[in-house]
């Protein structure tokens, strides 16, 4: 063999061996086919300092500026703790909302306190206000919460908004003189659209419509007519958005969660789902961790969900006192993935941790621990499903 040929062969072998040695020192990063998205539902228990400031303000013991400072401190602290959990998407923890349902009513003067009563399984109740005169306008829009949260983080922010159907319960059974039910619905649809659009325009990566009254409606009206009316009303709002915008809009349903109790856990999930999937949204945030028969419900979801839908399965039970492990969360996701395509699967919490400002049944630190378990468990499942 010619010397030149031997030399070329030796050089080629040297380059190959060098490449193997370099690769051994610099392994390729491991890429998974699918990183499962994970998002919180919304509320986080408020810190004691904020709860004390709220009580002091209501008692006339502190000025508004002191309360506003307490709100700002709670918001900053909440976002910081959520970032520490590793959560890729944040919320404001609803620190400055009186409740997930009544934030639009702040400052309104045309309300009375004796509205619809919502009973919970443990005997306690929540009561909505009653509209006394028109026109109906939001006192606060959700975009203001997005803008306030953006001051404290660069991570993506989602925003929860209340459904038009929940606010429809403000109108009393008897017609308001000079303000017909039809006029109210026209105003309500306009305001609900503005609420969602304002949150998107303020930079929310997604908007979640809270629709906990969906399951409750079947308890109030087992025929399903009330549920179907709710769906139709919400779709009048949603149909004002483009298909691309609706992909960023989702709906959340659960049996309620307040003071470690629920309002409709005894209602069969199956009765809700067929109508729920008629909503014109791209995302569904579904309570599942506390569901007793997950396989049955997941099978129903797999039959109803379309290729355009992203399904966020609840893997954390906010009202259960025990903090889930990352391994438990992983296993819940793997179970869901046996029914749903992984490319359309996400994870979330069953419900918010403190949907009303006075709900302290779950410790603040417990909520953050549960969020961390969801984030870490979702990573484990992504790795498992990406092999």
- Residues 30-78: pLDDT tens digits? 334 468 999 999 899 999 999 999 999 999 999 999 999 999 999 999 9
Between 142-151, 159-168, 216-225, 257-266, the lowest mean confidence (pLDDT) is in 257-266
User: Taking residues 278-288, what's their average pLDDT?
Assistant: 97
Peptide bond into 123 cis (omega under 30): no
So what's the pLDDT on residue 116?
A: 85
Q: Is the pLDDT of residue 124 over 80?
A: no
Measured CA to CA in angstroms, residue 38 lies from 63, 287, 291, 374, 375 at distances of: 39, 14, 19, 8, 7
CB 312 within 8 A of CB 39: yes
Measured distance CA(345)–CA(163) in Å, rounded: 24
Q: Is the pLDDT of residue 180 over 80?
A: yes
* Residue 125 host element (H or E): strand 125-127
So what's the pLDDT on residue 96?
A: 93
Q: Is the pLDDT of residue 348 over 60?
A: yes
Higher pLDDT, 139 or 126: 139
| β-strands 249-253, 283-286 pairing | parallel
Collapsed DSSP state (helix, strand, coil) of residue 191: helix
Q: Is the pLDDT of residue 120 over 90?
A: no
Q: Residues with Cβ < 8 Å from 38, sequence gap 6 or more?
A: 87, 88, 89, 346, 347, 348, 374, 375, 378
User: Taking residues 2-28, what's their average pLDDT?
Assistant: 42
Question: What CATH number does the domain located at 43-385 have?
Answer: 3.20.20.210
Q: Is the pLDDT of residue 21 over 50?
A: no
Convert the pLDDT of each residue in 82-91 to its tens digit: 999 999 999 9
CB 314 within 8 A of CB 290: yes
| Domain ranges within the chain, ordered by starting residue | 43-385
pTM: 0.87
Measured distance CA(142)–CA(373) in Å, rounded: 28
At 311, the pLDDT band (50, 70, 90 cuts) reads very high
Q: Is the pLDDT of residue 234 over 90?
A: yes
So what's the pLDDT on residue 360?
A: 78
Question: 212 phi and psi, to 5 degrees?
Answer: -70, -20
Higher pLDDT, 77 or 215: 77
Measured distance CA(278)–CA(262) in Å, rounded: 25
Convert the pLDDT of each residue in 240-279 to its tens digit: 999 999 999 999 998 777 777 677 778 888 899 999 999 9
Collapsed DSSP state (helix, strand, coil) of residue 253: strand
CB 280 within 8 A of CB 246: yes
Q: Is the pLDDT of residue 97 over 80?
A: yes
At 121, the pLDDT band (50, 70, 90 cuts) reads confident
Measured distance CA(365)–CA(367) in Å, rounded: 5
Q: Residues with Cβ < 8 Å from 307, sequence gap 6 or more?
A: 344
So what's the pLDDT on residue 8?
A: 44
User: Taking residues 17-41, what's their average pLDDT?
Assistant: 56
So what's the pLDDT on residue 115?
A: 87
């Amino acid at each position: 063999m010619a010397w030149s040929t031997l030399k070329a062969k030796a050089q080629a072998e040297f380059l190959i061996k060098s490449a193997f040695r370099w690769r051994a020192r610099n392994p390729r990063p491991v890429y998974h086919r699918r990183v499962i998205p994970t998002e919180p539902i919304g509320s986080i228990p408020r810190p004691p300092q904020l709860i004390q400031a709220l009580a002091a303000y209501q008692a006339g013991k502190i000025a508004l500026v002191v309360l506003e400072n307490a709100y700002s401190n709670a918001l900053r602290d909440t976002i910081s703790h959520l970032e520490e959990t590793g959560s890729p998407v944040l919320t404001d923890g609803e620190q400055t909302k009186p409740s997930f349902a009544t934030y639009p009513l702040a400052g309104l003067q045309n309300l009375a306190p004796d509205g619809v009563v919502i009973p919970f399984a443990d005997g306690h109740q929540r009561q909505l206000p009653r509209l006394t005169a028109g026109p109906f306008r939001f006192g606060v829009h959700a975009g203001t919460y997005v803008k306030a949260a953006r001051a404290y983080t660069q991570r993506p922010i989602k925003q929860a908004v209340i459904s038009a159907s929940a606010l429809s319960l403000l109108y009393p059974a008897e017609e308001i003189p000079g303000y017909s039910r039809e006029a109210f619905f026209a105003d309500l649809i306009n305001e609900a659209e503005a609420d969602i659009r304002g949150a998107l325009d303020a930079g929310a990566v997604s908007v979640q419509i809270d629709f906990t009254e969906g399951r409750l409606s079947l308890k109030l009206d087992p025929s399903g007519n009330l549920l179907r009316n709710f769906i139709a009303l919400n779709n009048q709002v949603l149909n004002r958005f483009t298909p691309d915008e609706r992909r960023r809009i989702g709906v959340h349903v659960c049996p309620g969660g307040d003071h470690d109790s629920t309002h409709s856990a005894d209602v069969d999930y199956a009765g809700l789902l067929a109508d729920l999937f008629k909503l014109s949204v791209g995302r569904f945030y579904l309570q599942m961790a506390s569901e007793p028969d997950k396989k049955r419900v997941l099978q129903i979801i797999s039959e109803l969900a379309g290729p355009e839908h992203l399904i966020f399965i609840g893997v954390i039970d906010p009202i259960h006192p025990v903090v889930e492990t990352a391994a438990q969360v992983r296993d819940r996701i793997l179970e869901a993935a046996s029914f749903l395509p992984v490319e359309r699967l996400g994870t979330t919490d069953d419900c918010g941790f403190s949907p009303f400002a006075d709900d302290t049944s779950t410790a603040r630190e417990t909520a953050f621990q549960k969020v961390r378990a969801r984030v870490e468990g979702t990573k484990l499942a992504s790795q498992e499903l990406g092999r």
